[in-house]
Amino acid sequence: MAYDLQLSHIGKVYDNGTPAVIDFNLDVDKGEFIAFLGPSGCGKTTTLRMIAGFESITSGDLLIRGKRVNDLQPEKRPTSMIFQNYALFPHMTVRQNVMFGLEVKQLPVAEANRKVDRILDKLGLTEVANVRPTRLSGGQRQRIALARSLVVEPDILLLDEPLGALDANLRKSIQNELKLLQRDLGITFVFVTHAQSEALALSDRIVVMNAGRVEQISPPRELYTRPQSIFVARFIGANTLISGKVRNVEGGAVSLDTPFGALVAEPPAASITTGASASIVLPAEAMNVLPGSMAEAEVRAKHGNVVPCQINRLQLVGHILQIGMTLPSGESVSLEGHADKYRDTLRAGAAGYVAWNPADTTLIAQ
Amino acid sequence: MESRIIKPALGVYVALFVLFLYGPFVVLTIISFQQGPDGGPQFPIIEWSTYWYRQIFGLTPPSRVAPLPFGEALIRSLVLALMTMVVSTVLGVMSAQAFRRNFKGSAVVFYLIVLGMMVPGVLTGLGTSLLANNIIGIERHWYTTAFATHVAYTFPFAFLVMLAILNRFDSSVEEAAWSLGVDPWTTFRKVTFPLIFPGVLSAMLFAFTLSLDEFPRTLFASGRDQTLPLAIYGTFSVEIHPNIFAFGVLTTLFSFALLSVYGILMAMSVRRAKKMAMQEDIA
C-alpha cells in the first residue's frame, strides 16, 4: 500500500503478435523520480503509455496507490502526461490551455482561477497568459505543458522525452527546473528518455530497458558504477569490456585469464564458479595511464591490474587532458583526465600502461 | 528555351480550359439580358434589358410568358440540401472517426460507404422508387425517399474528406486532454472538433452543392413534388425563354456567395491550422 505506482509482471503484446514489453516489475515510492532509459524501440514509451491508459495491458497488474487500474480509462486515472511535442491546444490561449483540465472538475470559478494563477506564476507564464502557445518559444511551451499537467494535481506525472525537442542550453536549464519542481511538489515523476545524461542527472532510480525487457533498476550512481548486464555496461557511461575465463575464486578476489593476461576483479553479487566466462567492466574513470618507463611489477603492486598500451594521442583542452590509446588487442580506448594528474608524464607515440584498482570494476558473469 | 514553347502552350491550354468552363455561363448571362417579353433565347440581342430578371420577381405586367414555377421547388431544394448537408456531414465525421482505429471488417465497411457515390444515380433512384412503391409500400417524397438517396450519395464525399483530415490529425492533443481528466466526448467537442473544423466545412460544402443540383436519383425518388433541377428540366420540355437564363445567373451568383462565405471561414481556420503546423515543426 505504501507504493504510489506498482507494475507487476506487466506485459504488452501488439495485435500482430509482436511483444513490446515483457515481464516489467517495478515498485515506485511516493515522490520518487523514476527514469525509463533505453534505445528507441525498447518499450519504454509503451510502458509509459500503459501507465497513462493509452495502451491496453496484455498481462500483469498495474496498481496506482494500491488500486488496480488496468481497465480504467485514461481520464479516470490520477496520472497526467507531458508529450514530446507538448501537444498543447493550438486554438486556446495559454491560460485556457492550463484551465482546461480544471473546467471539467467543476471547481468553483474563483478557486480554479486561483490555482491557474498560482501555477502560471510559479512557471513564469503570467505575462504570456493571454497569448496563443503557437507564438511562444520551445522552452515556454514546455512550461505551459507542465503547468497544464500540474494544475490538475496528478498523483503521478508521466513525461515522454519532454526535453527532446529543446536545444542543449535550454535542456540544461529546464532539466534543473524540473528537478526543483519535482522536489518542491513531492509528486511521483516517471520520465522516459533515451539520453543517459538526463536520466543520470534527474532521477532517483533508473530503469534501463532493452528489447522490451528490464535490464536493470538502480539509482544513477550504482547504475553507472555497477552495471549488472553487458547491455547496461555498453549503454551507460564509457566502459571497456574485457572478457575472460575465471581461473579461481579466492576470498574477495576473482582472477581471470583474459587476452591481456591474468587480471583480478571483485566477485559479482551472484556466485561465480571456476571456468565460467565473465566480463570485466572497466570504466574510463577508473583507468590510470602510466608511462612505459615504469616497471610493470611496480605498477601492478600499486594498482592491482595492469595492461600495456600504446599512447596515440594527447590533447590538452583547458584543464582536461584527452588521451587516446590502443590496447594490445587493437581496441582503441579514449579517456579524459585532469591535466594536473598527468602533468608531463606521458608522451604521444610512446608505450605506456593502463592500470586500475579491481574495486573500481564490475565483473559480469555470462 | 524550353519555357519559350511550353509556357505559351500551357497558357493557351488554360485559356481554352477557362473558356470551356465559363463560356456557357457567359453566353447564358448575355442572353439573360435579352429584351422581353418578345425576345427569345438567341442572338442577336434585340435590345439590352433587365426584363427577365424583373419577371422572375413578379415585377412585370402579365404577358404571354408565364412566370417560372420555381418558388416552391427552390425552397424544397434548399431545405433538402440543408438536411442532406447536416446528416451527411454528421455521418461522415462519425464514420471517419471510427476509421481511425482498425476494426474487424473495416475494409468491407469502407467500400460499402464509398459504393454510395459509385453506383449510377439512375439505378439508385429507380431502385429506391421500386423499393418504396412495391416492397415497403410507402409514398415517395422529396423529404423521405429522395432525401435518403441524397444522403447515400453525399455521405461518401463527406466521409472521404473527413478521412483525409483525420489522417493528418495529431492525436496526442486528444490524449493530452484525456490525461487531464477530460472525458472523450468533451475532448471531441472542445479539442478535436475545433481543430478539424476546416475539414468539416469542406464536407458540408460538398454535401450541400451535390444535393442541390442532384438530378438522376431525385427524378425517380422524389414523387409528386419537384426539386429545383427537376422543375428547371420540366420547363425545357415546353418552351425556353430567357427568364430561365436569368434564373441561372441568379443561382450561380448565389453559389458564388456561398463559396465566398466558405472561403472566408476556411481562411480563418487555415490560419489557425498553419499556426498549429508551425508549432509542430518547431517541436
Q: Which chain A residue's Cα is nearest to B268? A: A91
**Range in A99-113, A146-160, A341-355, B8-22 the model is least confident about:** A341-355
CB contact under 8 A, B182 and A104: yes
CB contact under 8 A, B275 and A134: yes
A36 and A182: one domain?
Answer: yes
- Last residue within a domain, chosen from A230, A254, A285: A230
Note the pLDDT of residue B57.
Answer: 81
A68 and A183: one domain?
Answer: yes
A39 and A169: one domain?
Answer: yes
Residues of B in contact with A158 (CB under 8 A): 179
Q: Per-residue pLDDT tens for A110-121?
A: 999 999 999 999
Note the pLDDT of residue B2.
Answer: 63
Interface of B with A in 75-114 (CB under 8 A): 102
Q: Is any Cβ of chain B less than 8 angstroms from the Cβ of A107?
A: no
Q: Per-residue pLDDT tens for B36-56?
A: 777 777 777 788 888 888 888
Note the pLDDT of residue A251.
Answer: 75
Q: Is any Cβ of chain B less than 8 angstroms from the Cβ of A81?
A: yes
CATH number at residue A321: 2.40.50.100
Q: Which of A165-179, A245-259, A270-284, B204-218 has the highest mean pLDDT?
A: B204-218
Residues of B in contact with A149 (CB under 8 A): 179-180
A67 and A186: one domain?
Answer: yes
What's the rounded Cα separation, in Å, for the pair B188 and B192? 5
Task: Give the gap in angstroms from C-alpha B274 to the nearest C-alpha of chain A.
Answer: 10
A193 and A255: one domain?
Answer: no
pLDDT band for B240, please (50, 70, 90 cuts).
confident
CB contact under 8 A, B179 and A88: no
A57 and A191: one domain?
Answer: yes
Q: Which chain B residue's Cα is nearest to A92? A: B191
Distances (CA, A) of A138 to A174, A328, B172: 11, 48, 17
CB B149 within 8 A of CB B218: yes
Note the pLDDT of residue A82.
Answer: 93
A226 and A285: one domain?
Answer: no
Q: Is any Cβ of chain A less than 8 angstroms from the Cβ of B135?
A: no
Q: Per-residue pLDDT tens for A18-31?
A: 899 999 999 999 99
Distances (CA, A) of A59 to A9, A25, A70: 7, 12, 9
Residue with cell 405586367: B61
A154 and A252: one domain?
Answer: no
The arithmetic mean of pLDDT across residues A128-157, rounded, is 90
- Looking at the DSSP bridge assignments, the partners of residue A210 are A213
CB contact under 8 A, B195 and A158: no
Distinct helix (H) and strand (E) counts, chain A: 9, 20
The count of CB pairs under 8 A between chains A and B is 95
Q: Domains of chain B (ranges plus CATH)?
A: 2-56 (no CATH), 71-238 (1.10.3720.10)
Q: Supply the DSSP symbol for A237.
A: S
Q: Supply the DSSP symbol for A139.
A: H
What are the grid coordinates assigned to A24, written together? Answer: 516489467
Buried b (16+ CB within 10 A) or exposed e, A178-211: beebbeeeebbbbbbbbebebbbebbbbbbbbbe
* Residue B30 CA from chain centroid, whole number: 26
Q: B147 or A272, which is more confident?
A: B147
Task: Give the gap in angstroms from C-alpha A74 to the nearest C-alpha of chain B.
Answer: 6
A262 and A299: one domain?
Answer: yes
pLDDT over threshold 70, residue B254: yes
- Looking at the DSSP bridge assignments, the partners of residue A307 are A354
CB contact under 8 A, B275 and A100: no
Interface of A with B in 157-196 (CB under 8 A): 158, 165
Q: How confident is the prediction for chain A on average, in pLDDT? A: 89
A87 and A127: one domain?
Answer: yes
- Last residue within a domain, chosen from A230, A256, A289: A230
Residues of B in contact with A105 (CB under 8 A): 181
What are the grid coordinates assigned to B127, written together? Answer: 431502385
Residue among A104, A131, A143, A166 with most chain B CBs within 10 A, to mutate: A104
Rg (CA), chain B: 24
Interface of B with A in 157-186 (CB under 8 A): 170, 172-173, 175-184, 186
Counting the structural domains of chain A, the total is: 2
pLDDT over threshold 80, residue A194: yes
Residues of A in contact with B176 (CB under 8 A): 81, 83, 87-89, 145, 148
Q: Which of A290-294, B184-188, B228-232 has the highest mean pLDDT?
A: B184-188
What are the grid coordinates assigned to A61, written together? Answer: 497488474
Distances (CA, A) of A60 to A12, A14, A218: 9, 15, 22
- Last residue within a domain, chosen from A204, A230, A256: A230
Q: Which of A186-190, A340-344, B59-63 has the highest mean pLDDT?
A: A186-190
CA angle, B80 as apex, B77 and B82 as ends, to 5°?
110
Alpha carbon distance, N-terminus to C-terminus of chain B:
44
What's the rounded Cα separation, in Å, for the pair A100 and A147? 11
CB contact under 8 A, A87 and B175: yes
Interface of A with B in 228-247 (CB under 8 A): none
Q: Is any Cβ of chain B less than 8 angstroms from the Cβ of A322?
A: no
CB A64 within 8 A of CB A156: yes
Rg (CA), chain A: 25
What's the rounded Cα separation, in Å, for the pair B179 and A314? 53
Q: Is any Cβ of chain A less than 8 angstroms from the Cβ of B283?
A: yes
CB contact under 8 A, A87 and B172: yes
pLDDT over threshold 80, residue A92: yes
CB B221 within 8 A of CB B128: yes
Q: A259 or A36, which is more confident?
A: A36
Note the pLDDT of residue B283.
Answer: 44
pLDDT over threshold 50, residue B72: yes
Nearest to A187 by CA among A163, A157, A212: A157
Beta A261-265 vs A188-193: how paired, if at all? Answer: unpaired
CB B258 within 8 A of CB A113: no
pLDDT over threshold 60, residue B279: no
Note the pLDDT of residue B277.
Answer: 55
Residues of A in contact with B101 (CB under 8 A): none
Residue A270's Cβ-count burial label (10 Å; 0-12, 13-18, 19+) is: exposed
Note the pLDDT of residue A154.
Answer: 92
Residues of A in contact with B184 (CB under 8 A): 73, 75
CATH number at residue A43: 3.40.50.300
Domain coverage including residue A359: 238-365
Distances (CA, A) of A191 to A3, A36, A161, A179: 17, 6, 7, 11
pLDDT over threshold 50, residue A359: yes
Nearest to A29 by CA among A49, A59, A3: A3
Q: Is any Cβ of chain B less than 8 angstroms from the Cβ of A53?
A: yes
Q: Is any Cβ of chain A less than 8 angstroms from the Cβ of B276?
A: yes
What are the grid coordinates assigned to A314, written together? Answer: 594527447
Task: Give the gap in angstroms from C-alpha B194 to the nearest C-alpha of chain A.
Answer: 7
CB contact under 8 A, B184 and A80: no
pLDDT over threshold 50, residue B102: yes
Residues of A in contact with B186 (CB under 8 A): 104
* Residue B80 CA from chain centroid, whole number: 11
Residues of A in contact with B175 (CB under 8 A): 52, 54, 74, 81, 83, 87
E runs forming strands in chain A: 3-13, 19-29, 33-37, 59-64, 67-68, 79-82, 156-160, 188-193, 205-210, 213-218, 239-250, 253-258, 261-265, 277-283, 288-291, 305-317, 320-326, 332-338, 351-356, 362-365
Residue among B106, B173, B179 with most chain A CBs within 10 A, to mutate: B179
CB contact under 8 A, A141 and B283: yes
Helix (H/G/I), strand (E/B), else coil: A126:
helix
A14 and A76: one domain?
Answer: yes
Residue with cell 483525420: B166
**Three-class secondary structure assignment of chain B:** CHHHHHHHHHHHHHHHHHHHHHHHHHHHHHHHCCCCCCCCCCCCCCCCCCHHHHHHCCCCCCCCCCCCCCHHHHHHHHHHHHHHHHHHHHHHHHHHHHCCCCCCCHHHHHHHHHHHHHCCHHHHHHHHHHHHHHHHCCCCCCCCHHHHHHHHHHHHHHHHHHHHHHHCCCCHHHHHHHHCCCCHHHHHHHHHHHHHHHHHHHHHHHHHHHHHCCCHHHHHHCCCCCCHHHHHHHHHCCCCCCHHHHHHHHHHHHHHHHHHHHHHHHHHHHHHHHHHHHHHHHC
pLDDT over threshold 80, residue B64: no
Distances (CA, A) of A225 to A41, A195, A222, A239: 25, 17, 5, 10
Q: Per-residue pLDDT tens for A237-290?
A: 888 899 889 888 887 788 888 888 888 888 877 778 888 889 999 998 889 898
What are the grid coordinates assigned to A85, written together? Answer: 511535442
The arithmetic mean of pLDDT across residues B99-115, rounded, is 91
Distances (CA, A) of B259 to A202, A330, B13, B254, B264: 55, 74, 25, 9, 9
A219 and A160: one domain?
Answer: yes
Q: What is A94-120 written as a DSSP string?
A: HHHHHHHHHHTTT--HHHHHHHHHHHH
